[in-house]
Amino acid sequence: MPPRLKLLLVDREPADRHAVREAAVAAELDVEFEEIESPERALELLTANRYDCVVLDSSFPSPDGLSLIDSVRAAGDNTPILVLTGREEDSGTALVAAGATDYLSKSELTPLRLVQRIRYAIRRGDIEGQLSNAASLLARDRRLFLAVLDQLPAGVVVLAPSGEVLLANSTIDRLLWPGAFVGGSLDASGPTVRRLDGTVLSLDEWPVRRALDRIEVIPAEDLIVDDVRGRRYLRVSAAPVLDDSGLLIAAAMTVDDVSLERQARNEALKLAHARENLMAIVSHDLRSPLNAISIAIDELADPSLEPEMRQRYVDAVRRSIGRGDRLIRDLLDATTIEAGKLVIAIQVVSVREFLERFVWEQQMLTEQAKMPLRLEIDGDLGTIRADPYRLHQALTNLLVNALAHAKGSGVIRIIAGRDGSFVSIGIRDRGPGIAAESLPHVFDRFWQARRHDRAGAGLGLAIAKGIAEAHGGSLDVSSVPGEGACFRILLPIDGLQGRTR
């Protein structure tokens, strides 16, 4: 047995309400009427209760009837509304256009027609309600889908076969350029996009267009985009989207920024190449002391060798061993620094005492090179917390670098002072200086090893920089070609942030 219908009858004329009730009874319609005379009261009841249908008299002074329909629909209420009109059919048509479900002229009111229209209105209302719910769910799912798309690190765009953009996330604008996919197709006013071989990519050659035209998967390829943000490398791929019958309905394209990946790969290749060069150079540099040791041992095996010559060969062996040992230690230090595992042993160090002792220890070396060493300290620098052994090693590397590149150019100055919250210790020479194009590379590991005029394996400056940074400081360089160079270590006055043991 079908459930009893609950109807809201809104009509200011008692006779009209009675006619509707009588028609319902005559049609044996199992219905419960709730009768009211004003649209305002109807809105209150619809807000608080559920009705199967509203029967509304269209003779209310305008815009009362329309206002009720507008308010009900604006509130998202899909309750069917059957409008009872007078003789003018246009009024019912206007109300249906405004949101009413159906209308029935009072002059045609019969039990059969009333029942037919009420049932039709209820069925249509059910269908419209289902469609509305489905549309709301679809809109919600679309918002959710777009929100997920916008969180993806890859750019995503979906094109219809006509070329119209169906979907595009915000990452596309960031990876390509703002408004790249606006107006239904790729924006032709954007920057030039090129393949890795330098050829310009036309709009029709974009992977998403090719996926539409060929109906096939387009493998990933790398593209180059140059604009005000610099150069970016993008990895782009696309695939067609087919329905169950195999009909093309769209094509989807993904865009990834692989600039950092390419940069890391290039850096790794450069480092590998530099290491290969280094191994060749180290092999050569180790061979020299080993050859000297071999020759000296052969000579020392001669029992008739004079004592003076014997001592000279012994000294030569010691010097060769020292050179080999220094090279091996530099390699170990460079590897440790590169791995970020350099350990420093912190002590309280008096800056003046440390530098005076360092100058005294290096005096003989610089005098032999005929390049006197002068210490200049500006003010009382007090103490810092540092590893004196590692700091000595860094300054020695800088001094050896100055002696190697500024031969016979006069005094080498060690200048110490304060620079903000740092103690500054600089080693300045009056040599030929450093070319501008070489300045960005002087601290690169193994860079010196790649130069034809190298003075060593190219590790000393890189090690000095690693030691300065392990102390929470830095190492910089300034130079004017023809006027010498100054390497400056900056150490924090208020303590170290480095690793300790």
Which has the minimum average pLDDT: 59-63, 106-110, 148-152, 457-461? 59-63
Please state, as a whole number, how many other Cβ atoms lie within 10 Å of the Cβ of residue 368: 9
Please state, as a whole number, how many other Cβ atoms lie within 10 Å of the Cβ of residue 355: 20
Q: What is the pLDDT of residues 234-282, one digit of tens each?
A: 999 999 999 989 899 999 999 999 988 888 888 888 777 766 766 665 6
pLDDT at residue number 19: 86
pLDDT at residue number 307: 85
Cis bond upstream, residue 388 (ω within 30): no
Q: What is the pLDDT of residues 66-100, one digit of tens each?
A: 777 888 888 878 889 888 887 555 567 777 888 88
Q: What is the mean pLDDT of residues 223-243?
A: 89
Higher pLDDT, 225 or 90: 225
Rounded distance between C-alpha atoms, residue 290 and residue 292, angstroms:
5
3-state SS class at 407: coil
pLDDT at residue number 101: 87
Statement: residue 426 has pLDDT above 90: yes
Residue 434, token pair as written in the block: 């450093």
Q: What is the pLDDT of residues 331-360, one digit of tens each?
A: 777 777 777 778 888 999 999 999 999 888
Rounded distance between C-alpha atoms, residue 72 and residue 118, angstroms:
18
Which amino acid, one-letter code, is at 309?
M
Statement: residue 318 has pLDDT above 70: yes
The secondary structure of residue 37, as a DSSP letter, is S
User: What pairing do the DSSP bridges indicate for beta strands 102-105 and 81-85?
Assistant: parallel
Q: Is the pTM of this model over 0.75?
A: no
Q: In the structure, what pLDDT confidence band is assigned to residue 283 with cuts at 50, 70 and 90?
A: low
pLDDT at residue number 2: 65
Q: What share of the chain is helix, strand, coil (3-state, %, to 5)?
A: 45, 25, 30
Higher pLDDT, 244 or 151: 244
pLDDT at residue number 449: 39
Q: What is the pLDDT of residues 105-139, one digit of tens each?
A: 888 888 888 888 888 888 888 888 888 888 888 88
Q: What are phi and psi of 182, to 5 degrees?
A: -130, 145
Rounded distance between C-alpha atoms, residue 474 and residue 492, angstroms:
9
Rounded distance between C-alpha atoms, residue 201 and residue 193, angstroms:
6
Rg value, the chain, Cα: 44
Higher pLDDT, 313 or 211: 211
pLDDT at residue number 400: 86
Q: In the structure, what pLDDT confidence band is assigned to residue 486 with cuts at 50, 70 and 90?
A: very high
Which amino acid, one-letter code, is at 119?
R
3-state SS class at 422: strand
Which amino acid, one-letter code, is at 84?
L
Rounded distance between C-alpha atoms, residue 261 and residue 378, angstroms:
47
Contact yes or no for 250/243 (Cβ under 8 A):
no
Rounded distance between C-alpha atoms, residue 294 and residue 220, angstroms:
58
- What is the distance, to the nearest Å, from the Cα of residue 320 to the centroid of all Cα atoms in its chain? 52
Rounded distance between C-alpha atoms, residue 489 and residue 355, angstroms:
13
The three-state (H, E, C) secondary structure of 285-303, written as one string: HHHHHHHHHHHHHHHHCCC
For residue 223, the cross-strand partners are: 195, 234
Q: Which residue carries 């408004």 as its tokens?
A: 179
Q: How much is the mean pLDDT over the chain?
A: 82
- What is the distance, to the nearest Å, from the Cα of residue 213 to the centroid of all Cα atoms in its chain? 32
Statement: residue 182 has pLDDT above 70: no
The three-state (H, E, C) secondary structure of 128-160, written as one string: HHHHHHHHHHHHHHHHHHHHHHHHCCCEEEEEC
Statement: residue 452 has pLDDT above 70: no
pLDDT at residue number 248: 93
Residue 11, token pair as written in the block: 């009509």
Please give the span between the terminal C-alpha atoms of the chain, in angstroms, as a whole number: 89
User: In whole angstroms, how far apart are CA 425 and each of 251, 392, 401, 417, 418?
Assistant: 63, 12, 15, 7, 9
pLDDT at residue number 434: 87
- Which of 186, 247, 195, 259 is CA-nearest to residue 221? 195
Rounded distance between C-alpha atoms, residue 277 and residue 295, angstroms:
27
Rounded distance between C-alpha atoms, residue 487 and residue 496, angstroms:
21
pLDDT at residue number 162: 85
User: In whole angstroms, how far apart are CA 149 and each of 78, 155, 158, 241, 256?
Assistant: 33, 8, 11, 17, 13
pLDDT at residue number 234: 92
Q: What is the mean pLDDT of residues 195-213?
A: 87
Contact yes or no for 54/79 (Cβ under 8 A):
yes
Statement: residue 453 has pLDDT above 50: no
Compute the Cα dihedral for 373, 374, 377, 378 and give only its sign: negative
Which amino acid, one-letter code, is at 326?
R
Contact yes or no for 463/330 (Cβ under 8 A):
yes
Contact yes or no for 125/133 (Cβ under 8 A):
no
Compute the Cα dihedral for 371, 372, 378, 379 and give only its sign: positive
Statement: residue 447 has pLDDT above 60: no
- Which of 338, 353, 339 is CA-nearest to residue 416? 353
pLDDT at residue number 164: 84
Residue 480 CA neighbour count, 13 Å, CB half? 2
Tell me how many degrees the CA angle 233-234-239 measures, rounded to the nearest 5: 160
Which has the minimum average pLDDT: 107-116, 163-172, 250-259, 445-454? 445-454
3-state SS class at 423: strand
Compute the Cα dihedral for 454, 460, 463, 464 and give only its sign: negative
